[in-house]
Amino acid sequence: MSKPPILLMGHFYQPKLDELEKLYECHRLWAAADPEALFASLADRCQIVVTAGGRGIKADEMDRLPNLKLIASFGVGVDAIDLEHARKLGIAVSNTPDVLTEDVADMALALMLGTIRRIPQGDRFVRDGRWLAGGMPVTHSLQKRRVGIVGLGRIGRAIAKRCAAFNTEIGYFGPNRKSDTDYRYFSDIVQMGEWADVMIAACPGGPATFRVVSRAALEALGPDGVFVNIARGSVVDQEAMIELLAGGGLGAAGLDVFDDEPNVPQALIALDNVVLHPHQGSATYTTRAAMGQLVIDNVGAFVQGHELPTRVV
């Protein structure tokens, strides 16, 4: 029997990509000399697309594959996939939830601590020999601070659990109050900004959360406030954030995600009060392997006519 064809829209964890390529006839869109010709050659027989969270797949790309039945995405966020269009066309969508929760929460804490205690700045201070001329300035403490989490889903809860061990008070903003937690609920993100010392964005991306961390929310967080983003660049008003960070209206930021990655504005790179990270929330060996395995499992389930292990649509 011939191997089923798969169109790969974006790169993912190499060892698992290698496994996938052993099982299927894989076509790499990013390596195609003529992408249009590749779409055309697959149009009448390709039922499966594998993509990466940041790459997703657009409506017009789905339209060019009239036999498409499954979009298996590497990542938990499906905001780059046109879900409405997939639903309309009867295309199933799978993601890789749960397996990345703990590592992404670790990244949120790494960035929160690194931003407040200025870990990369301290590393530069030592490497540049500045310590020889005197001590590094004193910083703020995390102790007894209030942490406001935007989105108390799986990742938000894992972040909250960690924060609790650091003697912080925890609040959250989201569309609904959760009945199973005592963390302080805010239905208004600006009110949470006024209350919080640290705000951590942990919500899904997509239209529903576009710029939810508004200029007003960041202004409420204020000159000593710290903003951490491990969600998506789209959830914050990046332009306002940069302006406030540069002008002293917001204290500091730790960012794993950006608008238009991997393009990070020079105005952000120029700042000393930010810790920048290249979207590595889930980027550990174990988690990337588990995510890749889930992609393989979803594709395998589809091919064998079974229920998808982690279906979104």
* Contacting residues toward a copy of itself, per CB under 8 A: 13, 102-103, 106-107, 109-111, 113-114, 117-120, 122-127, 131-132, 135-136, 138-143, 161-162, 164-167, 261-264, 269, 275-280, 283-288
> By C-beta, is 85 or 140 nearer to a copy of itself?
140
Q: How far apart are CA 274 and CA 291, in angstroms?
A: 29
DSSP state of 136: P
> By C-beta, is 45 or 130 nearer to a copy of itself?
130
DSSP state of 213: B
**279 assigned to active site:** yes
> By C-beta, is 42 or 255 nearer to a copy of itself?
255
Q: How far apart are CA 85 and CA 227, in angstroms?
A: 34
> By C-beta, is 11 or 85 nearer to a copy of itself?
11
How near is the Cβ of 247 to a copy of itself at its closest, in Å? 21
Options 87, 239, 261, 306, the catalytic residue: 261
> By C-beta, is 15 or 309 nearer to a copy of itself?
15
**85 assigned to active site:** no
* Residue type, position 86, single letter: A
Options 157, 232, 277, 288, the catalytic residue: 232
Query: Burial of 236 by CB count in 10 Å (0-12 exposed, 13-18 middle, 19+ buried)?
Result: buried
| CA dist 141 → 28, 159, 167, 237, 296 (Å) | 48, 18, 11, 26, 44
> By C-beta, is 67 or 141 nearer to a copy of itself?
141
Q: How far apart are CA 18 and CA 269, in angstroms?
A: 35
Q: Are 154 and 97 in contact (CB under 8 A)?
A: yes
How near is the Cβ of 238 to a copy of itself at its closest, in Å? 14
Residue the block writes with tokens 């963390």: 183
Options 55, 215, 277, 279, the catalytic residue: 279
User: Which of 234, 229, 231, 227 minimizes the C-alpha distance to 260?
Assistant: 234
User: Which of 281, 271, 298, 312 minimizes the C-alpha distance to 109?
Assistant: 281
Q: How far apart are CA 17 and CA 14, in angstroms?
A: 5
Q: How far apart are CA 37 and CA 54, in angstroms?
A: 24
Q: How far apart are CA 19 and CA 177, in angstroms?
A: 42
How near is the Cβ of 188 to a copy of itself at its closest, in Å? 29
How near is the Cβ of 120 to a copy of itself at its closest, in Å? 4
How near is the Cβ of 278 to a copy of itself at its closest, in Å? 4
How near is the Cβ of 144 to a copy of itself at its closest, in Å? 8
Q: What amino acid positions are annotated as catalytic residues?
A: 232, 261, 279
